[in-house]
Amino acid sequence: MATRPLVTLVLTLSLVGTTTRSARAYCFTTTCDEVLACDGEPPPDECKPLGWRGRCMGFSIQEDGGGGLDADTVESLTELAFDAWRLADCGNGNPGFVAVNLGQVGCEKNQYNKDAGNANVVVVRAKKWPHPDTGHNIALTTTTYDPDTGALLDADIELNADNYGLTVSDESVDYDLLSVLTHEVGHFLGMGHSDLSEATMFAVYEGGTTELRSLDPDDVAGICSLYPPDDAPKETCNPLPRHGFSPYCRDDQPEGSCSTAGAPPSHAPHSGWIVAVASLLWARRRRRRSR
């Protein structure tokens, strides 16, 4: 599979700590670099908001854990992070999406396979953080999406236990893992950064607090707009990735395998896909295209 980096850019956070000016509230990520759809305003026609079009998705935890965190702990906290978004009170119900825990997986890679099974994985990086800007990224969420429609195809969350002390305690808090996960699950769902410093989706987290665990009204307004309650899928919806679910990385899967039963295609085959990266603390975005 031909995959190459096409564009890599880093957004510096000139917005950090500025809350006095007119602040932009919740935002959605879109198919266009650096273009967010904010405050309910639609983006330009050519920029589609990202979202799970079936509104039904699976997630998995990498089985090895790391940095003093075992996989079971990461799994239970990831479920709580999804619950924070899933149970948001929209006034007329909860956000209209279903997220299913598909269990722990062996694959530790952040990857999307066009011709094999996939898993949307949460993985702890305890030995060497594999991305640039070491020391600035507490976590990184990589989303893969259809550039024509904005349909999310894959999302992987990497936790930086190499450079940060990720804690689970309510009292002795360094970088609170549940806070970090709640923010990253927001990216997983299609949320971008908010300029409101009290929002869970604010781009900067300095640690020492568990406040990001609970959503701010701004986060709630965003997720209720992205996944309106009226559009909720059935709890029995198919959460499997487009090419099927696999707990194994691409190289460990049989040639041409699509693993377990694949999710039904939601639209015509697309001509390419793009990977975007969003992270906590520093806003970064990276795109890869494959044709």
Which one of 45-53, 68-76, 258-266, 280-288 is the stretch in contact with Zn ion (CB under 5 A)?
A: 280-288
For residue 52, what are the CA distances in angstroms to 56, 92, 166? 7, 21, 28
Report residue 177: phi and psi, to 5°.
Answer: -60, -40
Q: CB of residue 280 vs Zn ion: minimum separation in angstroms? A: 4
Specify which residues 245 forms β-bridges with. Answer: 118
The helix/strand count (H/E) of the chain reads as 3, 12
Q: Is 263 in the site for Zn ion (CB under 5 A)?
A: no
Report residue 11: phi and psi, to 5°.
Answer: -95, 120
Q: Is 280 in the site for Zn ion (CB under 5 A)?
A: yes
Residue nearest Zn ion, Cβ-based = 280
Which one of 55-63, 126-134, 212-220, 272-280 is the stretch in contact with Zn ion (CB under 5 A)?
A: 272-280
DSSP H stretches of helix in 66-212: 71-86, 177-189
Q: Which of residues 33-62 bind Zn ion (CB under 5 A)?
A: none
**Total residues in contact with Zn ion, by rule CB under 5 A:** 2
Q: CB of residue 82 vs Zn ion: minimum separation in angstroms? A: 16
Which one of 25-33, 88-96, 256-264, 279-287 is the stretch in contact with Zn ion (CB under 5 A)?
A: 279-287
Question: Which amino acid, residue 6?
Answer: L
Nearer to Zn ion, 80 or 204 (CB): 204
Q: Is 212 in the site for Zn ion (CB under 5 A)?
A: no
Q: CB of residue 139 vs Zn ion: minimum separation in angstroms? A: 8
Q: CB of residue 184 vs Zn ion: minimum separation in angstroms? A: 7
Question: Rounded to an integer, what distance in angstroms lies between the CA atom of residue 215 and that of residue 13?
Answer: 22
Could you tell me whether strands 27-29 and 36-38 are parallel, antiparallel, or unpaired per DSSP bridges?
Answer: antiparallel
Q: CB of residue 45 vs Zn ion: minimum separation in angstroms? A: 26
Q: CB of residue 276 vs Zn ion: minimum separation in angstroms? A: 11
Nearer to Zn ion, 99 or 278 (CB): 278
Nearer to Zn ion, 242 or 284 (CB): 284
Nearer to Zn ion, 152 or 249 (CB): 152
* C-beta separation of 233 from 54 below 8 A: yes
CB neighbourhood size of 119 (10 A): 30
DSSP 48-98: PBPB-TTSEEEEEEETT-BTTB-HHHHHHHHHHHHHHHHT---SSSS-S-E
Sign of CA dihedral 162, 164, 167, 172: positive
Nearer to Zn ion, 71 or 203 (CB): 203
* Cα 249 to the center of its chain, rounded Å: 19
Nearer to Zn ion, 31 or 200 (CB): 200
Q: Is 199 in the site for Zn ion (CB under 5 A)?
A: no
Q: CB of residue 116 vs Zn ion: minimum separation in angstroms? A: 28
Q: CB of residue 193 vs Zn ion: minimum separation in angstroms? A: 6
List of residues contacting Zn ion (CB under 5 A): 278, 280
